[in-house]
Structure 1
Amino acid sequence: MTATELTVEGVTLTAGAHRLVRDVSLTARSGEVIGLVGPNGSGKSSLLRAVYRVLRPRAGSVRVDGADVWSVPVRRLARTLAAVVQETGADFDLTVRDVVAMGRTPHKRLFDGDTGEDTLIIESALAWVDAEALADRPFDHLSGGERQRVLIARALAQQPALLVLDEPTNHLDVRHQLDVLGLVRRLPATVLVALHDLNLAAFYCDRLYVLRDGEVVVTGPPGEVLTPALLREVYGVTAEVAVHPRTGAPQVTFLPGEPTGAAARESVGRTP
């Protein structure tokens, strides 16, 4: 697993007449963990779909180490890029070990069985997400959090140089949220991750891109990006931001009160 560079340049995405993302540019340098944050509907998931080649840009390009992802054969791209999405849309009639083993497919020829190396990689991936005890259980019998850990293990078994994660902490309890993001932080890979939890994003990401209405509002290190003014403007909330005394990362505390910014404008005229 060797880290690689991701370059998104001037990407615009549409769905029919609806614009999802407009002229977004982003760079993830080798080994960086880059976070996408922003309110629901801001374009985070749509942008990720363009990166892992599900949604073709109307304009702009997505490049991995200089190669346009849409020009690279799917199998070859899968040896470099792995994605964990919010909804798989499938209930696999397989054991957990079999699902994780699917991550080895891009590295094999058709009908090849698992080698000893494959087995070691699969077992290691299960251990990384604390899922060894689930290995022989049917995937479709798992809870939402258990499934999420298994799908992350499948992506790890792929040994990607670029890992794309869409809300990977969804359904996970606090312990496994910290375990998974800590693992992501340690991987010798470049990571692009969409997160709702701003405190997790502040602690685990090198840089953040804040999206609103399909556009990048600001980008930079978490300590520069996460300010009360930004949170008021983008999220429409009142917040305090302090430096955590032990971690040194920004710590966001949301305060109850009247909505501000866009939220206040949207509330005008509503019937209580």
Structure 2
Amino acid sequence: MSGTDLLVDGVTLTAGAHRLVEDVSLTARPGEVVGLVGPNGSGKSSLLRAVYRVLRPSAGRVGIDGADAWSLPVRRLARTVAAVVQESGAAFDLTVREVVAMGRTPHKRLLDGDTPQDADLVESALAAVDGTGLAHRPFDRLSGGERQRVLIARALAQQPSLLVLDEPTNHLDIRHQLEVLGVLRGLPATVLVALHDLNLAAYYCDRLYVLRDGRVTASGPPAEVLTPAMLADVYGVTAEVTIHPRTEAPQVTFLPPPPTGPAKSEHNPEQRAPS
């Protein structure tokens, strides 16, 4: 597994008269984990779909090692880019091992069987997501979190040079969130990931792009991007941002708004109930 240079250059995406993403540019390099953050509906998933070639830009381009992604042959694209998406509700009538082995398909010719190398890669991918014990279980009987780990393992078995993930920590408990993001952090591949959890994004991402209403409003290292002013402006919340003494990453603490509704009257011991 190696990395690839990703360039999103002035990409605009439309659906009818509605603009999903407008004039977005970003870069990601081999070995980097680049995060997309922003409120629901800000355009993160749409932008990822343009990168893994589901939504064609109406303007701009997606470049993969200098080539336009939409000009690449399907087979080459499948060997280069792996995606883990949110809409993964397909009920495979397969075992977990068979689902993960599907990640090897782009590297095979028609009717090719599995090789010992394929088997080793499948085993390694399962182990990376703590899924070895799931190997023989039916995929369609797994919990949501188990399915998510299996789909990430399938992407790892594909050995892409560009890995695109849309909320990969959905449904995962905190231990598996940390393990999965730790695996991504250690890959030589280029990783582009949309995350809701800003503290996970701050710790595991090299750079962040903040989207709001389909546009990039801030970008850079997490310590420069995650500021109380940005959080108030983009998310509409009050927060404190400190540097964690052990991780040295920004730590966001959200402050709840004051209670709303009628104020409670103070108890007055001299006040008597009407007779």
| Structure 2 CA distance for aligned equivalents of residues 148 and 90 of structure 1 | 12
Deviation at 1:256, TM superposition (A): 0.8
**Paired residue for 2:119?**
119
The answer as to 2:11 corresponding to 1:11 is yes
User: Kindly, what percent of the aligned residue pairs are identical?
Assistant: 80
Deviation at 1:29, TM superposition (A): 1.6
| Structure 2 CA distance for aligned equivalents of residues 169 and 139 of structure 1 | 18
SS of equivalent to 1:47: helix
| Structure 2 CA distance for aligned equivalents of residues 190 and 231 of structure 1 | 27
The answer as to 2:155 corresponding to 1:155 is yes
* 1:70-219 matches, cutoff 5 A: 70-219=70-219
**Paired residue for 2:46?**
46
- Please tell me the residue identity of whatever aligns with 1:8: V
Larger Rg: 2
The answer as to 2:34 corresponding to 1:34 is yes
- Please tell me the residue identity of whatever aligns with 1:184: L
> Could you report, residue by residue, the CA deviation over 1:7-27 in whole angstroms, capped at 9, with x for unpaired residues?
000100011111100000010
Q: Which residues of structure 1 form unaligned runs of 5+? A: 260-272
| Structure 2 CA distance for aligned equivalents of residues 120 and 30 of structure 1 | 24
SS of equivalent to 2:168: coil
Deviation at 1:258, TM superposition (A): 5.7
- CA RMSD in angstroms comes to 0.9
Matched residue count: 259
- Please tell me the residue identity of whatever aligns with 1:80: T
**Paired residue for 2:252?**
252
Deviation at 1:4, TM superposition (A): 0.9
Q: Which residues of structure 2 form unaligned runs of 5+? A: 260-275
| Structure 1 CA distance for aligned equivalents of residues 140 and 106 of structure 2 | 23
> Could you report, residue by residue, the CA deviation over 1:78-104 in whole angstroms, capped at 9, with x for unpaired residues?
111100001124110100000000000
| Structure 1 CA distance for aligned equivalents of residues 257 and 81 of structure 2 | 43
- Please tell me the residue identity of whatever aligns with 1:5: D
**Paired residue for 1:265?**
none
| Structure 2 CA distance for aligned equivalents of residues 37 and 74 of structure 1 | 29
Deviation at 1:194, TM superposition (A): 0.2
TM-score, length-scaled by structure 2: 0.93
| Structure 1 CA distance for aligned equivalents of residues 202 and 99 of structure 2 | 32
**Paired residue for 2:273?**
none
- Please tell me the residue identity of whatever aligns with 1:171: H
| Structure 2 CA distance for aligned equivalents of residues 88 and 66 of structure 1 | 30
SS of equivalent to 2:210: strand
SS of equivalent to 1:11: strand
* 1:56-71 matches, cutoff 5 A: 56-71=56-71
SS of equivalent to 1:25: strand
| Structure 2 CA distance for aligned equivalents of residues 187 and 28 of structure 1 | 13
| Structure 1 CA distance for aligned equivalents of residues 89 and 13 of structure 2 | 22
- Please tell me the residue identity of whatever aligns with 1:139: F
- Please tell me the residue identity of whatever aligns with 1:105: T
| Structure 2 CA distance for aligned equivalents of residues 67 and 88 of structure 1 | 28
> Could you report, residue by residue, the CA deviation over 1:192-232 in whole angstroms, capped at 9, with x for unpaired residues?
00000000000000000000000000100000000000000
SS of equivalent to 1:79: helix
> Could you report, residue by residue, the CA deviation over 1:121-161 in whole angstroms, capped at 9, with x for unpaired residues?
00110000000110001100000000000000000000011
TM-score, length-scaled by structure 1: 0.94
| Structure 2 CA distance for aligned equivalents of residues 258 and 235 of structure 1 | 17
